[in-house]
A = this chain, B = another copy of it.
Amino acid sequence: MTTQQPLAVGLIGAGRMGSFHAETLARRLPGVRLAAVADPALGAARCLTDRLGCPTAYTEIGELLADPEVDAVVIATPARTHADLVEAAARAGKAVYCEKPMATTLADADRAIAAAAAAGVPLQVGFNRRYDAGFRAAHEKVAAGAIGTPHLLRSLTRDPKLADPAPIPPWTIFLETLIHDFDTLRYLNPGAEPAEVFAWADALVRPDFKDRGLLDTAVVTIRFDNGALATAEASFQAVYGYDVRGEVFGSAGMLTLGDIRRTHLTSYGAEGIAAECVTYDQDLFHDAYVAELADFADSVRSARTPTATGEDARAALTIALAAVRSVQEGAPVHLKDSRLGHTGT
List the interface of chain A (C-beta within 8 A of B): 1, 27-28, 30, 50-51, 132-135, 137-138, 141, 146-147, 149, 151-152, 158, 198, 200, 202, 204-205, 207, 217-219, 221, 223, 227-229, 231, 233, 235, 237-241, 243, 249, 251-277, 330-332
Contacts and interface: CB of A to CB of B under 8 A. Distances in A.
Contacts of A273: 240, 260-261, 273-277
Contact of A137 (B133, B138, B265, B270): B265
Contacts of A331: 331-332
Given A200-B223, A276-B272, A331-B331, A238 B254 contact: yes
A121 to B, nearest CB: 27
Contact of A239 (B51, B252, B266, B274): B252
Contact of A270 (B249, B253, B332): B253
Contacts of A134: 263-265
Contact of A251 (B239, B263, B274): B239
B235 A152 contact: yes
Chain A contact residues: over half helix, strand or loop, or mixed? Answer: mixed
Contacts of A223: 200
A333 B257 CA distance: 32
B255 A227 contact: no
Nearest to A26: B30
A260 to B, nearest CB: 7
A330 B221 CA distance: 13
Given A239-B252, A240-B269, 13 more contacts: A1-B51, A218-B229, A219-B229, A221-B221, A231-B233, A238-B249, A239-B269, A240-B270, A241-B272, A256-B268, A273-B273, A273-B276, A273-B277
21 contacts: A27-B27, A28-B28, A133-B262, A133-B263, A137-B265, A202-B227, A204-B251, A218-B229, A221-B221, A238-B249, A238-B254, A238-B268, A239-B270, A253-B269, A255-B266, A255-B267, A257-B266, A260-B273, A272-B275, A272-B276, A331-B332
A257 B265 contact: yes
Nearest to A229: B219
Given A30-B27, A152-B217, A138 B239 contact: no
A138 B272 contact: no
A266 to B, nearest CB: 5
